[in-house]
Every structure is written in C-alpha cells, then in structure tokens.
Structure 1
C-alpha cells in the first residue's frame, strides 16, 4: 500500500491536537514575505463563496494573509472550516473512544516483531519512548510520529492558516461554521481496519527520514499557488488505497460540494478554508462542484 502521501497530508493533525516536537528543513526558494496561495471563487447574483486551501501548520516568517486572500476574507461575513476546535473538556472522551486501543490490543500486539522494532527505532530517534505510544490505535500513533518533526523543522500549528483565520474572524465577529465535528473526524480514522491502520503507521515509520524535504516541497507548492505540484504531493498514491481515498478524500469532497451547493441558494459572502489537498486533483471539491453545474474560478492576484 502506498500511504506515504497520506502520512504527509495528515501529519499536521497531531500538531493541532497538541503533539509535536523535531530536523531542520531546507529553506524553500521563494519570497517568504510575499506568499500567494491559491484561491478560488464560486458566485452568482447574490452569493459569493471563496475556496481557500490551507496548510494546518506553517512557519511564523511566512507572510500569506494579505493581497487577494485578505481582500476576499475582508469581503466575507462567514468563515467555514473543516472543523471548529472543540472545547478542551470534549477532547478526552472522544480520544478515549477513537484513538486508544482496546485493552490487550496495543501496538506491541498488533505489530509483528520486525514491524515493532522498526517502529521503536523511529520513535526513539525523535525522542519518543515507544511505550508511551503503546495504548494508541495504530492510526493515531502514526499521526503522532509523523507530526513529531514539525516543531524542529520550524512549523507551528498556531501559525497554521486555520488558526490565523479563526483569530481574524473572532476579531471581526464573523459567523464560524464547521463542516465536520471533532468526533466525526476522529471516526474517519478509527473506523479503518487494523490492517489499514498498521500499514499507515509503518509507511510513516519508513518515510520519517524524508519529512524535512517533504514539508519544504509542500510549503513551496502551497505558498506559490502551484496547484499541480500540490496535487502531486498531497494526493499521490491515494488512488492505490481505495478505502482510505474514499473515506478521507472523495466522500468528504462530495459532501462539502453538496454543502456549498446548498449554501449558494442563500445570499452572502462566505470564506471556505479546507486542507489544500481537497482543492487539488481529479476528485477535488472544484470537480465535484462542476458536476453540480457550479464553476469555481481561480482568483488572480
């Protein structure tokens, strides 16, 4: 199973949940004071919906919330994200249900001896005791390991696009909407078979040495609005894992397109910000919108 690109896409999730630690990334060759991530717009006579692809964790020196993105946001009276952050007290019960293994089904029981050795070596290299991940379901252990290099590479969840947009929305008193709940997002992963979860974890273990270059390339593609490169980096190989592709990308994009279609029937200006991988590739939100007769046009700025 080719899960490398999936690990790349999901690594920042753990940072959003408070995990993170580590590897100095190569500096990308573009003007960090003038990033121009891609932006699209769907509109009719009385409704405008902007579509903005995000990165969940970014370096603090990257300047992107200006120019066309800032203008579109200033025009909007509603911010829509994949998920609104739950109250801290609501997180633990969901993780207990979705992210922790059943008694007696920890990682040492689910992984083969050879797999566990590889996993343990990878965890120890980044300063994580393998035993601390033992109670986790494999998918959550995989995301935790994949997110670990972010901090030392200089990426911060608090500087991610969602956090910046949420702060700006709160300052303006904008309506905030989540397309999914925290429990629903955790369920996407916990509902995967043990085999798919283990494959995801081991793919991340095997690719940890490339994380610095991988995130540098992702950042460059995002910051320069190179959607072709973003599609290749974010979605490459997912079509080789039909279950994961269907659950984590295709079905979600279809539901979000349905939501946008319904929202177009109400007047107003809406800023929709979802992970950049959902706005790239053959099954992107824009493609699903086109099937509904809605055109998402790239905003030139």
Structure 2
C-alpha cells in the first residue's frame, strides 16, 4: 500500500478526478488561508538565468484541511510569477476522467481474478470486505485501477482530501490572482502512464498494495511529516529507493520518463524570460532521478530556497 500511496499523494494528480468528486472552485473566489508550516516547511528550489526565474515546489495531492504547509517565501515566489505550471490543469474534469477510466481502466475480456493467484484473491477479498465487496466484483477493472482505488479509500478514511491538496489550492490561488495556469501533461497522458504498464507490472503494483495494506497509515504519516518539514533525504528513501528496487517498471513509468519530459519543457521555459512557478508531486523532486538531477546534467543548477 505504501508504494501505491506514494503514487497517489506525491506523484500523479489524476487520481483525485477518478475517484473523488471534484471541488467546484469559483474562479473569482479567494482561496482559503493555508495553515502556516512549523519550521522550514516543504522544500522549494529556484533556477535563475540572465532573464528568467523558475521556482520548483513539491506538492502532496491529498492533504488534511489542517495540514500546516504555508510559507511566506513560497507565497512571495508564487505572487511574483507571471505564470504557474502544474502536472495537469484539467484534473477537475470529472466527465473526461470517467470516460478515460472506461477506456483505459476496464478490461472485461481479461477478468482481474484470472490474473491473480488464489493467495492474491484471498488478500483482495480481505481488503474489500469492509466495503462489502469481493475480488470478483472488481473483475472488469484492470489491476492498476484497483490498486489506486484501494489506496484512495484508505487515504480518504484517514481524513485526506484532494480538495485540500497543494494542486487544488494553488490552482484556485492562481485563478484568484489572474495568473495563467498551464499543464506539463494532461489527465489523459497521466492515465495512459498507468494503463501503459505491462499486465505483469500492474499485477505487481496491486500485490504491493495488498502486501503493505496494514502498514499504510503509519507510513503515510511519516512521509507527510518529512514533506511538511522539508526533509528531502527521508522523502527520497521512503518514496523512491524502495519503489525503484521492487517495482522498476512502475518507477520508470511514473518517475524517470516523466521527469525527463518535464526537464525538456523546463529548458524551453528557461529559453524565454520572466518568472515561472512550477508545482509537481514532491516525489519528482527527490532522489537520483529527480528533475533537478536531470537539469544538472544539462548544466542547469537548481538551488534550495530556505527563506
């Protein structure tokens, strides 16, 4: 579960659209105040050249409403931006999300239980029992979709909400300030990342979810504490290292390839001028294959902002 919760909380923003009713944010309404972080707060980096300033801020897509993550220097950087970039800006399009889920999340010709061992099915039955469901009821779904759904059920039961997540809050803030919001990718692209994994890779993802089901809540709390205090070393270990070793296909799809794509786009942004604020899942800004590491290979240095 923990590895899948990493995907949900700090990797792919699409999941809030797939399973949770989106918040109807009035484009002119002032967003709610963010509880101020204690100490250093979540990490942010800055890149500067002769005529450009670019900020990188790592988000959590699901947060509790009372999570303390606001920081004055982040607010100032955001206010200075000419435009704001997110993983995707169409995450509130529920109709599109449901259509994409029908296209990429279902495979009635390949029933879920036909892909699983008896032990897998028993574990899935046990996980679904509190919902009054069984593994057979999920037969039309592809393994990646079941894995994410289990993770989100656990997150929402623990009080986490995508409408309190960094992406939704900052999208609303950009709208209230009249700042253009742009996407590094689309919802469709994000969904195809999951659905494009091999069948075996998806089954491994689901098995990892089931294996760590009981450990999830405590590990999420530890990960949230690391993010909210800017402890990138802990985040890299908890979010990246284990997944890279145990689920290499999912890691390649969710992190390495996307980080490389975003690095190319950031280089293009830097070729222009002005100030840009970029919000992406925190998992993309830690570890050896982070966006900053890929930019460094291109001779572009990102510096940590501490105040």
Whether TM-score is above 0.5 comes out as yes
C-alpha separation between the residues in 2 aligned to 1:128 and 1:211?
Answer: 20
Structure 2 distance, partners of 1:72, 1:88, is 31
User: Superposition RMSD on alpha carbons, in Å?
Assistant: 1.9
Deviation at 1:126, TM superposition (A): 5.0
TM-score where L is the length of structure 1: 0.90
Relative to structure 2, which stretch is displaced further, 246-255 or 85-94? 85-94
Question: Does residue 1:299 correspond to 2:305, yes or no?
Answer: yes
Question: Residues of 2 paired with 1:60 and 1:239: CA distance?
Answer: 31
Q: Distance in 2 between matches of 1:260 and 1:6?
A: 27
User: Aligned equivalents of 1:191 and 1:255: distance in 2?
Assistant: 16
Q: What's the CA shift string for 1:48-68, capped at 9, x where partnerless?
A: 110000000011112323311
- CA distance in 1 between partners of 2:104 and 2:170 (Å): 28
TM-score by length of 2: 0.88
Matches of 2:104 and 2:279 in 1, distance apart? 25
Deviation at 1:128, TM superposition (A): 4.6
Among candidates 112, 116, 120, match of residue 121 of structure 2: 116
The aligned residue for residue 34 of structure 1 is: 37
The match for 1:282 is 288
1:203 to partner: Cα distance = 1.0
Equivalent position SS for 2:100: helix
What secondary structure is seen at the aligned counterpart in 1 of 2:175?
A: helix
2:135 and 2:249 mapped to 1: Cα distance? 28
**How many angstroms apart in 1 are the aligned matches of 2:133 and 2:8?**
16
- Give the corresponding residue for 1:93: 99
Rounded to whole Å, the distance in 2 between the matches of 1:15 and 1:260 is 24
> 2:74 matched to 1:69?
yes
SS at match of 1:209: coil
CA distance in 2 between partners of 1:8 and 1:81 (Å)? 20
Q: Where in structure 2 are the equivalents of 1:79-90 lying within 5 Å?
A: 79-86=84-91, 87-90=93-96
Name the structure 1 match of 2:263.
Answer: 257
Whether the aligned pair in 2 keeps the contact of 1:82 and 1:180 (CA below 8 Å) is yes
The more displaced of 244-253 and 289-298 is: 244-253
Which whole-Å CA distance do the structure 2 matches of 1:128 and 1:167 have between them? 36
Mapped contact 2:36–2:71 kept (Cα < 8 A): no
Aligned counterparts, 1:12-27, within 5 A: 12=9, 16-19=16-19
The equivalent residue for 1:172 is 177
Residue of structure 2 in register with 1:104 after alignment: 109
Partner of 1:229: 234
Gaps of 5+ in 2: 21-34
Aligned residues, how many? 287
Asked if 2 retains the 8 angstrom alpha-carbon contact of 1:221 and 1:229, the reply is: yes
Return the alpha-carbon distance in structure 1 between the equivalents of residues 222 and 244 of structure 2. 21
Whole-Å separation in 2 of the counterparts to 1:8 and 1:16: 13
Give the one of 142, 154, 163 matched to 2:159.
154
Distance 1:223 1:165, change over 3 A: same
Question: Which stretch shifts more, 127-136 or 156-165?
Answer: 127-136
Q: Distance between the aligned counterparts of 2:110 and 2:131, measured in 1?
A: 24
Q: Check whether the contact 1:146–1:204 (CA below 8 A) recurs between aligned residues.
A: yes
Provide the residue aligned with 2:191 in structure 1: 186
- For 2:94 and 2:19, the matched residues in 1 are separated by 14
Task: Describe the SS at the equivalent of 2:212.
Answer: helix
Deviation at 1:249, TM superposition (A): 0.8
Q: Against the structure 1 CA distance between its residues 88 and 239, is the aligned structure 2 distance closer, same or farther, given a 3 Å change threshold?
A: closer
